[in-house]
Amino acid sequence: MPGSAMDPCPLSRGKKLVHLDLKGAPPKISYLHELIHLFADLGATGILVEYEDMFPYEGELKILQSNAHPPYSREDIISIQEIAHSRGLEIIPLVQTFGHFEFVLKHSTFRKLREVNHCLGTLNPHSKQGVALVLKMLHQVMELHPKSTTLHIGADEVYMLGEGEESKKWLSIPGHNINRLFLRHITTVANGIRENYPSLSVIMWDDMLRSMTSDTIKDSGLVGLVQPMLWDYSPVLDVENNIMLMEKYKSAGLLQQWVASSFKGSTTVHTCVTSTQRHVDNHLHWLKVASGLSSGVELQGIALTGWQRYDHLSVLCELMPLGLHSLASCLQCLLHGSFTEEAQKKVMEALGTGTTEVGDIERLSQANTRAYPGLTLAEIIVQLTAMLESEELRHFENNLYVRGWFSPYHRQRQIINPLFAEQIQKQAKMFLEAVDCKVHELQQEMCLLYPESTVEEWIAQHVTPVLKPLQDLLKDIHTALEDMGLFISDSASQSGN
């Protein structure tokens, strides 16, 4: 993993924003305060906060607040900013304004604002009511962030755009196309922000701009209103292509640009344990991109994204404690221009651990008292995940006793040799008891950092589906032995509950 030091590049000198995705597993406010201090200790200069349904919207927007767990209070939002500012961190709110609008459009009250009824994520760009709703949301967020000088308006992955009836009618007009439709909405929103907050800088994701020509962007009126943020989370991202994109945006007049990497939450939609190496590689490639840019590109900095869900309705990605080793490593990689031996040393010093990889439990367990907040939970999740992914548990139905004496044929007819039933029950009970013990540890530790609803969701997502086949097998054995008129021991029957 170590590399040789490189000359400082714009990413080493620029702003380093840690993305805080709160649309899943929102930390308790006390833990969030600890995380903010840790972000500063690790070398971040700001936080990109995506509140989504955890923001305390008021009035007619109160319906947007999460009903799974209480949103942060106004006092909480203020405390987040006070702690961040005390550590020299700027706060940049991120509010979706076009795509990924599921947390708004899922409500029946706003159903009529969808581009198409079956796509909860995309706002109808022709609706004046929709634009008014967006601006009202932005106003409430910015009102509670008086010191913020920058706002991120999202605008990525606007699925099904152009499929609505109003859009089809608009697109039938000669000269109209999807690109113009997208740009029309974004410039409307950006101009609305400019009218109310003339000195506010506005960032947007770049993916919807990628297929557009330089002239299309230039003629849209977008120049001077927004700063594109290029995102690419691949450990082997295409360096030359990203350079070409940034040069294209520059030629369109969008000189001030950002890039976005990833420190967690971008491997697969259901990944549980973060791979530090994967994300360090992503940053090493971004350093190459930044070093290859022409002088005309004014690179503002980088946002290290840490997704908690792929979208509002998807499952949880890695929890924050699992991604902190990766975050520390990626920040040090940026600060040093490569992941040098010195960078690794800084990571271990900052986290108070003997390793730069969260999966290295043996060395993690040697952590001293300066270990980072959430380390215990990270250890438990890695250990529990290893148990749940073990061959013995995942393929229990393929072991000798089950395949030989309680096959699907036997289960269907509810027959089993009692001697081998005892062996199967004994093995299954051992697995279940070990997992139950670790789950109990997880519940106790996770409840200290997250709401109960997050604990319940994590277990339902990662534990329950793995144990169910084993529990169903034990129930079928119980039924078969009962039908055969055989005695069932309390311990054996309990293990199938």
- The catalytic site residues sit at 157
Helix runs in 51-201, H state only: 74-86, 102-105, 128-143, 165-171, 178-196
| Residue 237, CA distances (Å) to 157, 160, 204, 209, 287 in order | 19, 26, 20, 18, 11
Three-state SS annotation for 218-246? HHCCCCCCCEEEEECCCCCCCHHHHHHHH
Residue 49's beta-bridge partner residues? 20, 93
Quick one: tokens of 24?
A: 């899943």
CB atoms within 10 A of CB 397: 16
* Amino acid making up residue 494: Q
DSSP per-residue codes, 312-365: TTS-B---HHHHHHHHHHHHHHHHHTS--HHHHHHHHHHHT-S-S-TT-HHHHT
Q: Are 324 and 20 in contact (CB under 8 A)?
A: no
Q: Are 463 and 443 in contact (CB under 8 A)?
A: no
| Exposure string for 154-165, b = 16+ CB within 10 A, e = fewer | bbbbbeebbebe
Torsion angle in degrees (nearest 10) through CA of 483, 484, 489, 492? -70
Quick one: tokens of 227?
A: 């700063």
Q: Are 167 and 181 in contact (CB under 8 A)?
A: yes
